Amino acid sequence: MSSSATDHQAGDGHDHASEKAGADPHAHGGVFGPNTEVIFAVASGGALALGFALEKLAAGVTAWLPLGLYLIAYGFGGFFTVREAFENLRNKRFEIDTLMLVAAAGAAALGAWAEGALLLFLFSIGHALENYAMGRAKRAIEALADLAPRTAHVRRGDQIVEVPVEEVEVGDTVVVRPNERLPADGFVVVGATSINQAPVTGESMPVDKQPVPDAATARARPAQVGPASIVFAGTINGAGAIEIETTRKSTDTTLAKVVRMVSEAETQKSPTQRFTDRFERIFVPVVLGLAFILLFAWVVVDEPFRDSFYRAMAVLVAASPCALAIATPSAVLSGVARAARAGVLIKGGAPLENLGSLNAIAFDKTGTLTEGRPRITDIVPVGGAKELDLLTTAVAVERLSDHPLAEAIARDGLERLQGTAIPAASDLQSLTGKGVTARFDDGQVWIGKPEMFGVDGISPLSNEAQAAVTRLRLAGRTLMVVRRDERDLGVIGLLDTPRAAARTTLDALRGLGVSRMIMISGDHQKAAQAIASQVGLTEAWGDLMPEDKVDAIKRLRAEGKIAMVGDGVNDAPAMATATVGIAMGAAGSDVALETADVALMSDDLSQLPFAVGLSRRTRGIILQNLVVSLGVVAFLVPATIFGLGIGPAVAMHEGSTLLVVFNALRLLGYRDPTSPAGPSNGVATVAAPNLKGTVA
């Protein structure tokens, strides 16, 4: 047992604070490489079995021969235990390794060589098997790092040269042949293909890729490159040869960041692990005190000192909380590794456990429940303005912005203008959560929500513009009003399309026990309700500014645990406020990778039930492991006090440790059991609480 139990790290069944986080403390090297500990344990068992057979079954054998074999068993079984015990003592830690040596030495001093050898054999074989089991989970994570190739074919002038990926610079052109793994992140500049992105995003089907329309624009604004052209290191090219322009060095690729964050996640303690640490801080000194008292049982009970000493050692072995210490980290490690293989990045035990226990999720609307690609559906000029003038003004200003609604107006407006010359706008200023203002054609232009007008010194809308707003809102449109100087030019109505997987995903979440789901949006209440009713949500909170979203999450969190699902960029404050922040499409966003607790690497909402289901299964396995580890200790402590020997105690002690580890490893084979439930008849009828007096 450890007097510094708080130092346990994921993957560490016994306390080894001197080890680097995430390194396997029992991955000993030796003459036989990584298998040395297993071979030594087997050799110890073989010598013990042969010595016992000679002692009990072979008549006339000299006493020194079995004793010699027992000593060999001691040597092989205690080799690594001695090394760790001295390391622990040098760091002023008293742990199970040291305890086993004391117990084995005590058995030898009492002449019980066979029992001491059995103790060391069981302990060493338990260590070796535990090392193997935990190594499986670690190898699942390490395998991610091996997905990217070691070299890349880079175009240098007229030649294509093969260079290590570490030498690939941002802006290099990399040639990727058919069926090769991509060596770098970037965007396609030549050729078309389909790419298997499953290693990074978890998508089951290959994704078609096309060259960017304008390489210079993509180079200047790589974050705005569309998913049809962006590519990731470690993914697998299909049948087409392509050339990509790199946007990140090999150490900064999405895959490299995922590997790094998953490795760091091992050290993030979950709520259950923090509880077990607190429990051990109380439990350890209590057991040490009990063992000390039992050393003097011979004073009260009519028995020799050797029996009292033996009993005290047996109690210490029985009460060692090794299984308890590894019960949670092993499950967290396996759960995080399984999620990473499916394109879901979970940053440690806390979000993994919290996601498995909450029953409420809030969703952002745009880009989460909807496709995030709104389109223009209505153009309503007012005050005698021409549609051409309205569209020209809107496109000139909005193409300076990177907001999804601005991009939609610029894209669809250009199509409708069909090559009409558009003067350039300038001096764009963003009015966060409301709209924008800019200079255009020697005038000042305002474009934004209807609520932007009539406040903060901006004059109210004209009666005709207000009437157009009212009519389009009844149709569930998202609205942008365009004004030049003091004249309202008109209203543009847009509509975003719900994701095809939204309804089935929400039904699957209900099947997993998520009983409350709320959509929060900066859009008007009626537009929010229109989308919510299409995807099967019964709560839609609209008219929320970014700070209102934070307040909304605070109100929900006051009622219980809440997850917030968004893009990880515009929703970062609300996600940070939630119990668990979940970002979608994180493979293409550095900000989302950094800010989210859980990142869905692909822009696929259907990954969410998998993440929730895996978290619930992990939480269940953690509880099972706690029951097993505490139950074994609860049984062994009184059993050893009343006479159970050290050998059986060690066997059950190591057996329980192996049991919780192998139970946790079942998570590596987790399969999403959810299937789309029946259609929901929910309609969006519940409005948001009036957080700032703006909600209809």
Phi, psi (degrees; rounded to nearest 5) at 134: -65, -30
Sheet containing 236-237: order of strands: 207-209, 193-196, 236-237
Beta partners for residue 376, in sequence order: 494
Burial group, residue 188, by CB count within 10 angstroms (0-12, 13-18, 19+): buried
> How many whole angstroms separate alpha carbon 37 and alpha carbon 49?
18
Q: Which residues contact 409 (CB under 8 A, 6 or more apart)?
A: 376, 394, 395, 398, 480, 492, 494
The H or E element spanning position 214 is: none
Residues whose CB is less than 8 angstroms from the CB of residue 201 and which lie 6 or more positions away in sequence, other chains included: 232, 343, 587, 601, 602, 604
Structural contact between residues 509 and 609, judged by C-beta atoms closer than 8 angstroms: yes
* Catalytic residue selected from 24, 172, 277, 364: 364
Q: Where are the alpha helices (DSSP H) in 384-497?
A: 387-398, 404-417, 463-474
Alpha-carbon distance values, 613 to 101, 409, 644 (Å): 43, 39, 42
543 annotated active-site: no
Report d(CA 445, CA 439) in Å as an integer.
6
Question: 27 in the Ramachandran plot: left (φ > 0), alpha (ψ -120 to 50) or beta?
Answer: beta
Q: Which of 65, 48, 55 is CA-nearest to residue 124?
A: 48
C-alpha distances (whole Å) from 127 to each of 130, 655, 657, 666 are 5, 10, 9, 19
Q: Dihedral sign for Cα 590, 596, 597, 601, please.
A: negative
Give every CB contact of residue 61 below 8 A, 6+ residues apart in sequence: 54, 55
Positions annotated as catalytic residues are: 364
